[in-house]
Amino acid sequence: MAAAMTHTTFTSWLMITLLLIICPTSSSSSSPSPAAAAVRVGVVLDLRSDAGRKSRTCIEMALEDFYMKHPSSATRVQLHVRDSHGDDDDPTVAAAHAAEDLIKNVQVEAIIVAPQTLTEADFLAHLGNHKHIPILSLSGISPASSGEQPHKIMPYFVQAAANDLLQAKPIASIAMSFSWRQVILVCEDSPHGAAIFPKLAHELDGMETQISDVVFVPVDATEDRVHEVMRRLKRMETRVFIVHMRSSMAARFFAMANDLGMMSQGYAWIVTSTIGNAVDSLRSDHAINSMEGVLTLRPSVNETDHVKRFFARFQRKMISSYSDHSHLHDEPSMQLLWAYDTAWAIATAAETARLASFATGLAQDELPITGKTLLDSVLKTTFDGLAGKFSLDYNNGYQQQQLRYDILNVIGRGTRTVGTWMQDEHPISYYDRRADAKWLKIIIWPGDTTNVPKGWEVSPSGKSLVIAVPRKNGFRQFVNVAGNTTASSANITGYCIDLFHRVMQELKYEGGYEYVTDNRSEDYNHLVERVHRKEVDVLVGDITITAKRMENVTFTVPFTELGWTMMVMAKKDTRKSMWIFPKPFTGTLWLVTIALFLFIGFVVWVLEHRINPRFRGTPSEQLGTTFYFIFSTMVFSHREKLQSNMSRIVVIVWCFFVLVLTTNYTASLTSMSTVQQLRPAVTDVEELIRGGDPVGYHESSFVKDSLIKMGFKQSNLRHLGTVEQYNQALSDGSVKAIFDEIPYLKLFRSHFPNKYTMAGPVYKSGGFAFVFPQGSLLGRRVSEALMAMMESPSTPRNTLIPFPVNTTDDVGSPRLDTSDFSGLIIIVMTVSSLMLLTWFATFFYKEFSKVRAACSSWRSWMGARFLSTILSSRDLNSHNFEVQQQNEIMMNDIEQANQVVEGD
């Protein structure tokens, strides 16, 4: 009995002890431990916005989850939330007041903020730096936009979200994937808006895609001011726009663009993540309807099971907390995940900093967490969060996660993911579906079309192209303006005009043309200046490219020959040469002809020497007979009769080749001997300068300045304007030479082909080109079309040459080359080789046993000697040698009969 009582007492005591141990533990999970130290953390958000309320909910959920997982924590984060919008119209001022109130009156140890402007971020960063309070930013806007290494200057500002400027690289990749040559950057007129320009320009540096213009929209712009900006954009040739501004401002911007018809077919809009992150909020606004076809970015979420469970809880929490919230608008967002992970990080850092303080040995109530201690702890905190690996750069204070961006296409009142961009992966591609490219899905562009916008428009305003043309006194074959007034294309003619029309047809331009001239239209520099001032759209004519003109305008590729030289009188060259006879043929043709003679001689000898007595004898006799026979075919006087049909075929083809060759040689030599050769009367420019001889130049040409730099005196220069003046001045000796660009001189020489000739060195110049305003997309397209025409073999030659004229200055027949007889040479070689192979095949077939015996000889030299003996021996079975053998027998019989008679 006593033993039983002892056992019962012991059991009761054990149960009571367990309850005392369990009860405090279970209660601590539901309420803070009395020993836990409070860490005051401020939260400054725009609680009137959907994004601000969602961020607050994520922060609260993170702390609930953290302390549920760590119930015995030594610290407890207490949130003190302030509305950054407040009662002030300026949210930046309201956020500043809220942060100051938290530091002064609440004495918070850290502040979580989501700045909406760079001014707000800069103020909070300086405030935290001054008060030694860590500022954790949930926004992509940070002082990093305004300078290099801001963390060294403002170390208490921590970028917990990815910087907005990281989008420059994926945006550049998207633009390049569609092969757009130029884009226009449209951004809000603020430090944050302007900060993306250098980043984007850096990513596009050296690429085909370039930023043609940057347009700033004032943050406080009125409707009229926004309308003015939109009209300016509509007048531009470029149709690809990259937009970087706050979501509220972007909503106004696209509503205006839609009203002006700029959300129609042919336009392309790429918007930074300010829209991609705010799509959920914009769905409740009619502004989303104005963004049909827009491409935007959003940091990509890895939707793990943990993330899905969190967002299910998050939706229930939002519905219970806010009566006006609709869970249909919620999708996993990196912005919300960053808010959750940031709150978790501050709780972890507070715990780490508090535990580190116990080493001081002070009482627990004397252990405050300093801002520096908490900041260091936050920067060293790492864990696997909802957004991925939470890790901050300790030296620079920003998020180190390697981001992926989803590329979204706004369709209707929602978005559709059409691709994903990630750092250091394969480039984005739309046209090329190869395996090593991150290709995009089909995109619905503005105007509800899947056709990719070409990115530019020839006449954006719908007006006709205004084309300036020069008036010319001479050389009107290039440009000719009929009449004294500016009129339509009916009285504007010339090679340059025709070529420009041809290029525009290649570009499928369907608009009209308006030609203009003025009283100074003969002054080319004045016309170029009009293009620079954008008074006209293009300058068409014989406009030479010069370095000075290129400073203000864009030239197309030149469409004429480059350079300038001098034209002088030509005099007859009566000098004769004793070595004129080899000149009709080039050296290569002479060598090929000699080689053919040797080859054909060898073939005929092989085919004839075993059956034809005329090709037999000693080796020297055979060699002499063979070469005599082949060379006698040049005059068709060969007397050796051929016995083989194969050799007859070879000689027939060879004689035809020789006939053609000798005929052309005779004609060319006759031409060279009889036609008078012309040579320039003056060849040395320095001689003209030393002698002080007068020279001419084309009026209004840059050549005048070049001649003065070369050393010609201005008093010795004569300006001339027409072909007739050129001829008169050279004929009467008024000038010894005329310096001008090669196209003009060739046109002049086409009128007097045997009277004048070009001489002296060719000096470099740019050639003729069309002129467009600087950065003109149309000018680039015209250049591409010109290059395509010049490279195409199907383009008629007279399309790119201003006049049908023989441009060579060499008089007389050109020398004949191997290419002129390549067809005949191939026929001769083919026929002779075929006959030779046929003979060898027949020979080896007939003499197979002897050839095999020669090849099986135990000594190679003896076998080769035996084989050569067989090849050089007579073919006794041939008809010719059978007749000869019968004649020899008959002669022997006759001699024997005569001997018998004489004996009798």
| Residue environment code for 594-624, b if the CB has 16+ CB neighbours within 10 A, otherwise e | eebbebbbebbbbbbbbbbebbeeeeeebee
Residue 241 lies in a domain: yes
Lowest mean pLDDT among 64-68, 246-250, 724-728, 741-745: 246-250
| C-beta neighbour count of 675 within 10 angstroms | 11
Between 284 and 257, whose confidence is greater? 257
Q: 184 and 219: one domain?
A: yes
Q: Which of 670, 694, 715 is the last residue of a domain?
A: 670
Contacts of 766 (CB under 8 A, 6+ apart): 544, 545, 546, 555, 558, 562
Confidence of residue 576 (pLDDT cuts 50, 70, 90): low
Confidence of residue 6 (pLDDT cuts 50, 70, 90): very low
Q: Can you tell me the distance from the alpha carbon of 681 to that of 186, in angstroms, rounded to the nearest whole number? A: 64
Lowest mean pLDDT among 265-279, 419-433, 595-609: 419-433
Q: 213 and 273: one domain?
A: yes
pLDDT of residue 18: 39
Q: Look up the domain containing 338 and give its range.
A: 37-161+304-396
Residues 723 and 805 sit within 8 Å (Cβ to Cβ): no
pLDDT of residue 809: 43
Residue 903 lies in a domain: no
Q: 663 and 627: one domain?
A: yes
Q: 188 and 280: one domain?
A: yes
Residue 170 lies in a domain: yes
Q: Which of 700, 730, 765 is the last residue of a domain?
A: 765
* pLDDT value at 435 more than 90: no
pLDDT of residue 69: 92
pLDDT of residue 345: 92
Q: 740 and 622: one domain?
A: no
Mean pLDDT, range 231-256, rounded to an integer: 87
Confidence of residue 904 (pLDDT cuts 50, 70, 90): low
Residue 761 lies in a domain: yes
Mean pLDDT, range 500-506, rounded to an integer: 87
Residue 808 lies in a domain: no
Mean pLDDT, range 163-190, rounded to an integer: 88
* pLDDT value at 32 more than 60: no
Confidence of residue 30 (pLDDT cuts 50, 70, 90): very low
Q: 515 and 591: one domain?
A: no
Q: Which of 362, 396, 430 is the last residue of a domain?
A: 396
pLDDT of residue 9: 42
Mean pLDDT, range 783-790, rounded to an integer: 86
Mean pLDDT, range 82-94, rounded to an integer: 69
* pLDDT value at 363 more than 60: no
pLDDT tens-digit readout, 297-338:
988 888 888 989 998 899 888 888 877 665 445 667 888 999
Q: 610 and 666: one domain?
A: yes
Q: Cα dihedral sign for 572, 574, 577, 578?
A: positive
pLDDT of residue 855: 64
Specify the CATH number for the domain of residue 732: 3.40.190.10
What letter would DSSP give residue 557? -
Helix (H, G, I), strand (E, B) or coil at 830: helix
- Give φ, ψ of 418 to 5 degrees: -110, -5
pLDDT tens-digit readout, 653-708:
888 888 888 888 888 877 776 655 566 778 788 888 888 889 999 887 888 888 99
pLDDT of residue 8: 42
Confidence of residue 364 (pLDDT cuts 50, 70, 90): very low
pLDDT of residue 781: 84
Residue 800 lies in a domain: no
Lowest mean pLDDT among 197-206, 453-462, 763-772, 886-895: 886-895
Q: 45 and 124: one domain?
A: yes
DSSP string, 502-520: HHHHHTT--S-EEEE--TT
* pLDDT value at 796 more than 60: no
Between 615 and 166, whose confidence is greater? 166
Q: Can you tell me the distance from the alpha carbon of 420 to that of 276, in angstroms, rounded to the nearest whole number? A: 13
pLDDT tens-digit readout, 513-533:
888 887 777 788 889 999 998
pLDDT of residue 357: 57
Q: 346 and 482: one domain?
A: no
pLDDT of residue 146: 45
Report the domain count for the chain.
6
pLDDT of residue 482: 77
pLDDT tens-digit readout, 113-139:
988 877 888 888 888 888 999 999 888
pLDDT of residue 581: 76
Q: Can you tell me the distance from the alpha carbon of 259 to that of 529, in angstroms, rounded to the nearest whole number? A: 36
Confidence of residue 812 (pLDDT cuts 50, 70, 90): very low
Q: 413 and 551: one domain?
A: no
pLDDT of residue 446: 92
* pLDDT value at 240 more than 90: yes
* pLDDT value at 21 more than 50: no
Q: 511 and 641: one domain?
A: no
Specify the CATH number for the domain of residue 340: 3.40.50.2300
pLDDT of residue 506: 83
pLDDT tens-digit readout, 449-465:
998 898 887 666 556 78
Residue 872 lies in a domain: no
Q: 271 and 408: one domain?
A: yes
Torsion angle, alpha carbons of 792, 798, 801, 804, to 10 = 150
pLDDT tens-digit readout, 386-399:
988 888 876 666 66
pLDDT of residue 133: 92
Residue 519 lies in a domain: yes
Indicate the average pLDDT of the chain: 78
Percentage of the chain lying above the pLDDT 70 cut? 76
The residue whose two tokens read 């204070």 is 397
